[in-house]
Amino acid sequence: MSDLEQFRRETRAWLETNCPQSQREPVVEFEDRCWGGTKWKFTSDDQKRWLEVMAARGWTAPDWPAEYGGGGLNKEETKILREEMQRIGARVPLFSMGLSMIGPALLKYGSEALKRQHIPNIVKGKIWWCQGYSEPNYGSDLAGLQTRAEDRGDHFLVNGQKVWTSYADRADWMFCLVRTDPAAPKHAGISLVLFDMNTPGVTVKPIRLISGKSPFCETFLDNVRVEKDQLVGELNRGWELATYLLTHEREMIGSIGQSNVDARLYPAAIAELGLVHGQLADSALRTDIARWEMDHRAFELTAERITDEATAGHGVGAASSMLKYAGTEINKRRHELLVAIQGQRGLVWEGDAYDHGITATQWLRTKGNSIEGGTSEIQLNIIAKRILGLGRE
């Protein structure tokens, strides 16, 4: 038996023993997904145990180096672990911007001290990280950001405002883009710094969304002291890190349509509408669902193919923009169809009898998928310029 087969067998057995049954149920509510951090309230002992056993093996971050607490798995093993988790419908034990964004950036650009300070806590889900990128006047044009970090010898003094900061009210730390050289061209004067959200001068104000929830905030930074050793990478080279990190963010958002459950829509449609002569009664909806399932399958296979191509050493750069664009647009269509399948019921807002409007709130939340992490239009710009080479004189 090859090492990989051996690994698969052991992994399967280990997951079978260690993954609690409740953690194999589909993710429905936001809290079903564990985000970790000091303010996290576990929904059950199972959720806590599942995080702990996985983190102990470093399997919350399977392909990160073991010396910082990661799983130390190679690409093939990582893929096997993912497949085996999917096989039993295991939930991802930890979902965080630490894992998907700042962690990879620290591993690539961070000092040894920063890695030792932050990576193990990310793996264990001890700290909830938030992302301080967007500002009121600088969204798509992120590189124009104006939040200032002044050099005060042993520390930076940060002043400015961030907006749309997801979960700033629950987060422990922020990774934040700041302007450290106002005289330099806009891309060349930016740095990436880290600070504790409890630092004096940090104020957060939740913003209510169309979904009725308040998952993001305005974040005001007023004379916030940031220690110099919390600068990631080189001073004024933050744009490179910012885009590296955005690549990871896009992959994560793009993969949002992939979950631990069968995402296909037709079982719900059959349950809701019934069959007439073996077919859904609404033939237009039938076609819409089939076309969605075609695109969804194609998307999942594409994510897999691109991973496989990278493993084999011939990938395309900027693939993350294509995956982000396609994945989020497909996910938006999925939720439009989920509402359509349920008719009026899909639009109920309140009430025990109607799942408290989960269908409607989720549908509305997905509208943000093609905005957050760079809008669909920005992804199309990137594909056009970087992959297709359009518009270069």
Partner 1 sequence: MALVLDEEQRMLKDAAREFLTANAPVAQLRALRDERDPLGYRPETWRAMVELGWSGVLVPEAQGGLDFGHVGMGQISEEAGRTLTASPLFATAVLGVSALVLAGTGAQRAALLPAIVAGELTLALAFDEGPRHDPNVVATRLRKSGSGWVLDGAKAFVPDGHSADCLLVSARIADSAQLALVLVERAAPGVTVERVVMADQRNSANVRFAGVAVASDAVLGGGEDAGAALSRLADIGNAHLAAELLGLAQEVFQRTVDYLNTRKQFGVLIGSYQGLQHRAAHLYSEIELLKSLVLKTLQALDAGSDEVPVLASLAKAKAGEVATLATNEAVQMHGGVGMTDELDIGFFMKRARVAEQLYGDHRYHLQRYASLCGY
Distance CA 61, CA 191 (A): 26
Q: Which is nearer to partner 1, 20 or 139 (CB)?
A: 139
Q: C-beta of 336: minimal distance to ligand FAD in Å? A: 17
Q: How far apart are alpha carbons 109 and 191 in whole angstroms?
A: 12
Distances (CA, A) of 13 to 18, 81, 155, 342, 393: 9, 11, 50, 39, 58
Given candidates 18, 74, 146, 166, which one binds ligand FAD under the rule CB under 6 A?
166
Asked if 7 interacts with partner 1 (CB under 8 A), we say no
Q: Is 113 in the site for partner 1 (CB under 8 A)?
A: no
Please state the closest distance from residue 290 (CB atom) to partner 1, in A.
Answer: 4
Q: Is residue 4 at the binding interface for partner 1, with CB under 8 A as the rule? A: no
Token pair 């609690």: residue: 20
Query: Binding of ligand FAD at residue 239 (CB under 6 A)?
Result: no
391 binds partner 1 (CB under 8 A): yes
Up-side HSE of residue 278: CA atoms within 13 Å toward CB?
0
Give the total of residues touching partner 1 (CB under 8 A). Answer: 44
Choosing from 77, 84, 135, 249, the catalytic residue is 249
Tell how many helices (H) and how many strands (E) occur in the chain.
12, 10
Task: Out of 165, 321, 328, 366, point to the residue binding ligand FAD (CB under 6 A).
Answer: 165
Among 74, 159, 236, 302, binds partner 1 (CB under 8 A): 302
For the question of residue 249 being annotated catalytic, the response is yes
Contact call for residue 317 and partner 1 (CB under 8 A): no
Q: Measured between alpha carbons, how far is 122 from 36 in angstroms, rounded to an integer? A: 9
- Cα–Cα distances (Å) from 24 to 209, 252, 282, in that order, read 30, 21, 33
Question: Residue 299 binds what, of ligand FAD, partner 1, none (CB under 5 to 8 Å, by partner type)?
Answer: partner 1
Q: How far is the CB of 329 from ligand FAD (least distance, A)?
A: 13
101 binds, among partner 1, ligand FAD, none (CB under 5 to 8 A by kind): none
- DSSP summary character for residue 26: P
Asked whether 358 and 29 are in contact (CB, 8 A), the reply is yes
Binding string, residues 243-282; x marks residues near partner 1 by CB under 8 A? ---------------------x-x--xx----x--xxx--
Considering only residues 74, 117, 259, 311, which one is a binding residue for partner 1 as defined by CB under 8 A? 311
Cβ(91)–Cβ(29) under 8 Å? no
Nearest CA to 15 out of 65, 68, 62, 70 is that of 62
User: Minimum distance between the CB of residue 319 and partner 1, rounded to whole angstroms?
Assistant: 8
* Minimum separation from the CB atom of position 330 to ligand FAD (A): 17
Q: Which of 288, 282, 235 is nearest to 265 (CA)?
A: 288
Beta strand spans in 52-182 (E): 129-132, 148-151, 155-166, 173-179
Gap between the terminal Cα atoms of the chain: 56
Q: Does 128 bind ligand FAD (CB under 6 A)?
A: no
Q: Which stretch binds ligand FAD (CB under 6 A): 107-115, 309-317, 351-359, 374-382?
A: 374-382
Q: Does 87 bind partner 1 (CB under 8 A)?
A: no
Residue with tokens 């549908």: 363
Q: Does 254 bind ligand FAD (CB under 6 A)?
A: no
Among 74, 159, 302, 375, the residue binding ligand FAD under the rule CB under 6 A is 375
Q: In the bound complex, what is the minimum distance in angstroms from residue 265's beta carbon to partner 1?
A: 9
DSSP secondary structure letters along 290-349: HHHHHHHHHHHHHHHHHHHHHHTT---TTHHHHHHHHHHHHHHHHHHHHHHHHGGGGG--
- Rounded Cα gap, residues 196 and 38, in angstroms: 12
Decide: is 146 part of the binding site for ligand FAD (CB under 6 A).
Answer: no
Binding site residues, partner 1, CB under 8 A: 264, 266, 269-270, 275, 278-280, 286-287, 289-291, 293-295, 297-299, 301-302, 304-305, 308-309, 311-312, 322, 325-326, 377, 379-381, 383-385, 387-393
Binding site residues, ligand FAD, CB under 6 A: 130-134, 139-140, 164-166, 216, 368, 371-375, 377-378, 381
Active-site residue list? 249
